[in-house]
Amino acid sequence: EADEFLDSFSTQSELNLTRLRNALAHIYPEHDGTVEIIDRVDNLIKLEVKNKKAIGVDEDKIFHINDTNIKKILSLLLKDGIIESEISLEDSDSSYVGKALEVAKDFEEFFSDTYLTYKIYEDNLYANLVTTNLSKRLQEVLDKNKAFVFMSGTLHSKTVLEEVFGITNYSFVEAETSPPGTIEIDKTGKEFECSYKYLSSDKDKREQYLNVLSVCIEKSKKPSLIHINAFSDLPNEEEIKKFALNNLLSRDELIQQQKEDKTGKLVLKFKEKLFDSLYTTKCSRGIDFPGNSCCSVVFTKYPNPNSQGTFWKVLKKTHPNHFWDFYKDKARREFLQRIYRALRSPEDHVFVLSPDSRVLDAVRELQVGKGNQTPKNPL
């Protein structure tokens, strides 16, 4: 999964400053200098909290780490290994300090390219940190070796490899270039463009979307693999009752199912045909459904990343020339990975359904050999 490995260089971490302050207060120092560092970190966090209470928190506002106290906080946590020597990972408070130390280590070499956003949740102040200098992070790894072999069925585009990751000295070795199996579109005749912009334009569009999703799942040849792009794609309990969507799983049910299924038993039961529809946010990679273990793949929507995520917001601000290339490339690779869960050999056949016309457009392009293209209007 070379493309997933490269994507992982987009470091993003969430730090609960309120919890960190409380955790530090429960450390009982054994070394000189610890009290001073804890007091300094405590004062800096208090300043952050006081500032946010005074001016409020705009979750869409992006800050460079140098314009906040977060850089000072992380640097103090790392100073001379003093805090690290005080913590015990068996203690919950120390464990959270340990997490903060890991965040500090991840970003220490990239402070000049680190940005963050704030949010308040249940009276806790959070900082979401992101670094977008992917080429610098990758180069640190490449410099340790003479050559690398990356393998993936869904490589990044040439533009993204060169412009975003800074990979210029490379060659492609292609194998198995023909897609396995056969993909067939199963239309309901009710599909439409399920972009955020369109669905937000009218409150009735939500009902339209849910009704078409219900038709897709009802019509799909079983067993059906149902890729959920976001939990909000599914109805809540109130919507199920209001719109009579009795064949749909609610978002809360799926969240609970996945929370309880720690070992992947749902996938095994689906493969054993103990039930005929698998709703999932987790089967994009690494799990295969060959042959008659899956006859249909249903997409709730075209799998665009969440453009409101901190990484994408920061990337759009700091690298506007590369944002759309990377964003669309990520969606294209995710789309292919999800389809190919059910196509593992030339004999495999799968129907594709979706309320989102952009999914069917992407399938058509794949059928005529233009799978590297991305549907129009990605948002």
Q: Is it the case that residue 370 has pLDDT exceeding 60?
A: no
pTM over 0.85: no
CA distance 281 to 290: 19
* 117 vs 310: CA distance, rounded Å: 7
Q: Give residue-wise pLDDT tens across range 212-234.
A: 999 999 999 999 999 999 999 99
**8 Å CB contact between 353 and 296:** yes
Residue 243: exposure state from Cβ atoms within 10 A (0-12, 13-18, ≥19): middle
Report pLDDT digits (tens) over 110-154. 899 999 999 999 999 999 999 888 888 888 888 888 888 888 888
**Distance of alpha carbon 124 from alpha carbon 82, whole angstroms:** 26
How far is residue 63's CA from residue 367's CA, in Å, rounded to a whole number? Answer: 44
Q: State the Cα–Cα distance between residues 180 and 62, nearest whole angstrom.
A: 44
14 — pLDDT class (breaks 50, 70, 90):
very high
Q: Which residues pair with 124 in a beta bridge?
A: 121
Task: Give the dihedral sign, CA 22/55/37/35.
Answer: negative
Is residue 379's pLDDT more than 60? no
Q: pLDDT tens digit string along 155-204? A: 888 999 998 899 988 888 887 777 788 999 999 999 999 998 899 888 89
The pLDDT assigned to 91 comes to 66
Asked if residue 31 has pLDDT above 80, the reply is: no
Can you give the three-state secondary structure of the chain, one letter per residue? CHHHHHHCCCCEEEEEHHHHHHHHHCCCCCCCCHHHHHHHHHHHHHHHHHHHHHHCCCCCCCEEHHHCCHHHHHHHHHHHHHHHHHCCCCCHHHHHHHHHHHHHHHHHHHHHHEEEEEEEECCEEEEEEEECCHHHHHHHHHCCCCCCCCCCCCCCCHHHHHHHCCCCCCCCCCCCCCCCCEEEECCCCCCECCCHHHHCCCCHHHHHHHHHHHHHHHHCCCCEEEECCCHHHCCCHHHHHHHCCCCCCCHHHHHHHHHHCCCCHHHHHHHCCCCCEEEECCCCCCCCCCHHHCCEEEECCCCCCCCCCHHHHHHHHHCHHHHHHHHHHHHHHHHHHHHCCCCCCCCCEEEEECCEHHHHHHHHHHHCCCCCCCCCCCC
Q: Phi first, then psi: what are they for 77, rounded to 5°?
A: -60, -30
Span 309-320, average pLDDT: 88
Q: Does 372 have pLDDT greater than 70?
A: no
| Reported confidence tier of residue 89, pLDDT bands at 50, 70, 90 | low
Residue 134 is predicted with a pLDDT of 87
351-372 as b/e: b if 16+ CB within 10 A: bbbbbbbbbbbbbebbeeeebe
Whole-number Å distance between alpha carbons of 277 and 283: 13
